[in-house]
Amino acid sequence: MSTTHQLSPVAKLEQKTVVDLILKGKRMDERSPLDHRPMTIMLGIIEKANGSAQVYLGKTKVLAGVKIEIGTPFPDTPGEGILTVNSEFVPLASPTFEAGPPDENSIELARVVDRGIRESKALDLKKLCIDPGKKVFMVFVDVYVLDHDGNLIDAAAMAALGALVDAKMRAFKVENGEVKYKDEIIPLPMLNYPVPITSAKIDGSIVLDPCLEEEQVMSCRLTVTTDKNDQICAMQKGGLGYLTPDEVKQIVATSIAKSRGLRETILSKVK
Amino acid sequence: MRNQEVVQLINGKGLRVDGRGLNELRPIKMEVGILDKADGSAYIEHGKNKILAAVYGPREAHPKHIALADRAVVRCRYHMAPFSVEERKSPAPSRRELELSKVIRESLEPAIMSEYFPRATIDIFIEVLQADAGTRCAGITAASLALADAGIPMRELVAGCAAGKIEGKVVLDLSDIEDKKGEADLPVAFMPKSNVISLLQMDGSLSEEEFRQALDMSTDACRKIYEMQREALRQKYHVAKEETEEKEEIGEVEA
Amino acid sequence: MTLHTERKQLVGPGELLAEGPYFAGENTYREGGKIFASRVGLADVIGNKLIVVPIKGAYIPRIDDIVIGRITDITMSSWQVDICAPYPALLPMSETPIHRGREGGRRDLSEIYSVGDLVLAQVIAFDRTRDPLLTTKGRGLGKVNSGRVARISPAKIPRIIGKKGSMITMLKKETGTDIVPGQNGVILATGRNPDQERIAVEALYMIEREAHTTGLTDRVKMFIQERMKGRNVA
């Protein structure tokens, strides 16, 4: 059951401060409405994982790890590998996170990140087949939220994408339905690079990459994930507020434009 | 076993598998107040979808600690019956059901004037008895009626309808086969009077222009569905004028 | 200044009732210069105030309401009472007529009302910050020892009473029972024998089901008369 969230931990006066600033076109950290916080991406920091990426988006910190294993394919896609995206909101990341199974926010985040990667066909699952109907590679992407200062979806999706781009596996060939590994190290077969942009609506104004304080006062958020061809591959509105059709269209246009810069940043790390 | 045969989703005459045009809604039937025990209820058939929505509330908050001091807590559960889909679905809530419960609650809660019932709860239950794509949208349409049927004050009704893309064309109200084989799915919930969107999700691949078309198609369809909702309420509560005069005086109770 | 609704018109949430300098009364709200309905019900205009009389809804206590509730818990100095509202009601010991024992010492609360008892009480306080407060100090209030109970939608209680009490007077006369309607939708019917009480309860549920029809008072009267004949309970 989905339940109304508890009261905001922020006093009305503090909320007002955020709103007033935004009405003047400024934000808490002197950003302009369409600016992201400073972002850093570090790849390959967990050697035991096949791939990993850590994203700092302002003070938000998310770590994603990729593990590749062998398993059986789904019956309706016998020639394709399997992609699974999971997310953990670990208690150390925020006073509001409790230990236990993923709550609806964690599940929503994992599914939105998954949709971006899956719908853009970022990972070429067909190249991950070993023995059709019997054996395929399974790619697990686990997103770990380490510090929650807002906009977890964008940070998580970028970390997931970074981890996939960073991931390495041994080259292989298939002999008699078995995997024979070669010495060469190859990356995962990537075809696309989906990038999400999340905007928040605060008292009628739209701001990108909301920080935690902005999320606490926003009426709702809209995440738009675009691929390298400017195609929209996933969208998710979240929160209790509303958006007019015009606001939605405006946010979509801005998101498509902004995603290009972020995609370049991630790809430049790989080289 | 999945059917491997190639299905043409749009034929030479521009008609879809079920004979609809690109911008045509599936047949919709709504009925209000069909359950006895629930405070409010509604049943909807949207295409082959069969969905029941029930509302209990405002009622006492259990457990007490979830109560909010200044308004009602709204709880929403979207659930699919095991027999509702082709391959039996386990009754345990899946991640998809959890996500949909959340986005559905977020689409309805803003319309509910929950500040009238501090420290109470309003519970919304959506049970999908038969699924054929578009269940969250139809669920929202039915849940709005159930809330109104329960006498819960709302700003207005919320209507839901999805659009999408199949074989390169933007279409309205995907059926199950179109959702599975198509290129994009865009569920939307809309409040026509206020002209605002309260649920918006998308998966697939759409250009910006295709997205705009799809969004307009679905909001227009929501306006039509809203009129059907109003009519369903009228059918249920048709009241003779004469009887209402008797309501005017609230008699004194002799203790 | 435009009225968009007729008196007694059935309206639903979000429907436009009026534009201009009107007041937004019960079950309506104002947005911009317009007034909308927030619940399903019958719109009405009183002077320049727009209201909607709801068809259905939870019982929200009001001060002075007479209610019939069930004792659900006992503490040191009060009872918790279920009055079919979203809030449990509190009946403090001090609000009952007899709370001192013969020797003047404190009585055990369960001797006065125990869990499961039905009480007829009056609401003396209720607001957004606290649960409703009841009293049984009042003529006719207190524990209910006999009779049958009907539970209907609180919105239908005015229909049970009728215009100038016409319906309830007829019910009492025809069934030979005393009928006490609680504002919370719980109604007590007390008669000389169980058959009378049962017929009264059936009549009450009939009124709830057919509240929206015309000629109801006469039909209910006929219904009762038929049932009374059949049972020889004159």
pLDDT digits (tens, 9 = 90+) for B170-227: 999 999 999 999 999 999 999 999 999 999 999 999 999 999 999 999 999 999 999 9
Contact yes or no for C138 and B243 at CB 8 A: no
| Core vs surface per residue B227-253: b (16+ CB within 10 A) or e | ebbbebbeebbebeeebbebbeeebeb
Q: What is the pLDDT of residue C188?
A: 94
For B:197-226, CB contacts with C below 8 A are: none
Q: What is the pLDDT of residue C91?
A: 96
> If residue A91 lies in a helix (H) or strand (E), which one and from where to where?
none
pLDDT tens digits for B79-111?
A: 999 889 988 888 889 999 999 999 999 999 999
| Fold of the domain spanning B28-236 | Ribosomal Protein S5; domain 2 (3.30.230)
CA distance C222 to C149: 22
The rounded percent of chain B whose pLDDT value lies above 70 is 91
Q: What is the pLDDT of residue A167?
A: 95
Most confident stretch, A249-253, C72-76, C140-144, C161-165: A249-253
B33: region left, alpha or beta (phi > 0 left; psi from -120 to 50 alpha): left
Q: What is the pLDDT of residue B136?
A: 98
Q: Does the C148-231 domain belong in CATH 3.40.50.2000? A: no
Q: What is the pLDDT of residue C103?
A: 55
Q: Which two tokens stand for residue B31?
A: 């009925």
Grade residue C233 by pLDDT with cuts at 50, 70 and 90: low
CA distance B193 to B227: 11
Q: Is C177 within 8 Å of chain B by CB?
A: no
For B:25-44, CB contacts with C below 8 A are: 39-40
The pLDDT of C8-31, averaged and rounded, is: 93
Residue C213: list chain B partners with CB under 8 A: 240, 243
Grade residue B251 by pLDDT with cuts at 50, 70 and 90: very low
pLDDT tens digits for C83-116?
A: 999 999 999 999 998 755 555 556 688 888 999 8
Rg from Cα positions in chain A: 20
Residue C198: closest CA among C153, C150, C166? C150
Please provide the average confidence, as pLDDT, over all residues in chain C: 90
Residue C93, φ and ψ in degrees, nearest 5: -55, -40
Grade residue B62 by pLDDT with cuts at 50, 70 and 90: confident
Count the Cβ atoms, other than its own, within 10 Å of residue B197: 25
Those residues whose C-beta lies under 8 Å from the C-beta of residue C164, and which sit 6 or more positions away, are B249, B251
Contact yes or no for C163 and B245 at CB 8 A: yes
Q: What is the pLDDT of residue C231?
A: 66
Q: Name the CATH architecture for the domain at C2-54.
A: Beta Barrel (2.40)
How far off is chain B from A206, nearest CA to CA, in Å?
Answer: 15
The residues pairing with A89 across neighbouring beta strands, listed in sequence order, are: A145
Q: Which two tokens stand for residue B59?
A: 């009622």
| C158 residue type, one letter | P
DSSP states of chain B = ----S---SB-TTS-BTTS--TT-PPPEEEEE---SSSSEEEEEEETTEEEEEEEEEEEE-SSGGG--SSS-EEEEEEEE-TTSSSSPPPSSPPHHHHHHHHHHHHHHGGGB-GGGSTTEEEEEEEEEEE--S-HHHHHHHHHHHHHHHTT--BSS--EEEEEEEETTEEEES--HHHHHHSSEEEEEEEETTTTEEEEEEEEEEE-HHHHHHHHHHHHHHHHHHHHHHHHHHHHHT---HHHHHHHS--PPP--
Those residues whose C-beta lies under 8 Å from the C-beta of residue A14, and which sit 6 or more positions away, are A213
Q: What is the pLDDT of residue B162?
A: 98
Q: What is the pLDDT of residue B217?
A: 98
| C156 residue type, one letter | K
User: Helix, strand, or coil here: A86?
Assistant: strand
Q: Is B36 exposed, middle or buried (0-12, 13-18, 19+ CB in 10 A)?
A: exposed
Could you tell me the residue ranges of all domains in chain A? Answer: 12-270
> If residue C90 lies in a helix (H) or strand (E), which one and from where to where?
strand C89-92
Residue of B nearest to C167 (CA): B246
End-to-end CA gap in chain A:
45
How far off is chain B from C81, nearest CA to CA, in Å?
Answer: 12
Residue B205: list chain A partners with CB under 8 A: 119-120, 227, 231-233
The residues pairing with C180 across neighbouring beta strands, listed in sequence order, are: C188
Contact yes or no for A2 and B69 at CB 8 A: no
For B:96-135, CB contacts with C below 8 A are: 111, 113, 117-121
Contact yes or no for B75 and A3 at CB 8 A: yes
Q: Is B119 exposed, middle or buried (0-12, 13-18, 19+ CB in 10 A)?
A: buried
Q: What is the pLDDT of residue C1?
A: 73
Superfamily of domain A12-270: GHMP Kinase, N-terminal domain (3.30.230.70)
How far CA C94 is from CA of C65, C70, C135, in Å, comes to: 19, 18, 8
The pLDDT of C3-11, averaged and rounded, is: 84
* Intervals of CATH 2.40.50.140 along chain C: 66-144
Contact yes or no for B155 and C87 at CB 8 A: no
The pLDDT of C131-159, averaged and rounded, is: 92
pLDDT tens, N- to C-terminus, chain A (271 residues): 999 887 676 777 778 888 888 888 888 888 889 999 999 999 998 988 999 999 999 999 999 999 999 999 999 999 999 999 999 998 889 888 888 899 999 999 999 999 999 999 999 999 999 889 999 999 999 999 999 999 999 999 999 999 999 999 999 888 887 888 999 999 999 999 999 999 999 988 999 999 998 999 999 999 999 999 999 999 999 999 999 999 999 999 999 999 999 999 888 877 5
Q: What is the pLDDT of residue B246?
A: 46
| Fold of the domain spanning C66-144 | OB fold (Dihydrolipoamide Acetyltransferase, E2P) (2.40.50)
Q: Is B95 within 8 Å of chain C by CB?
A: no
Contact yes or no for C42 and B191 at CB 8 A: no
| B209 residue type, one letter | E
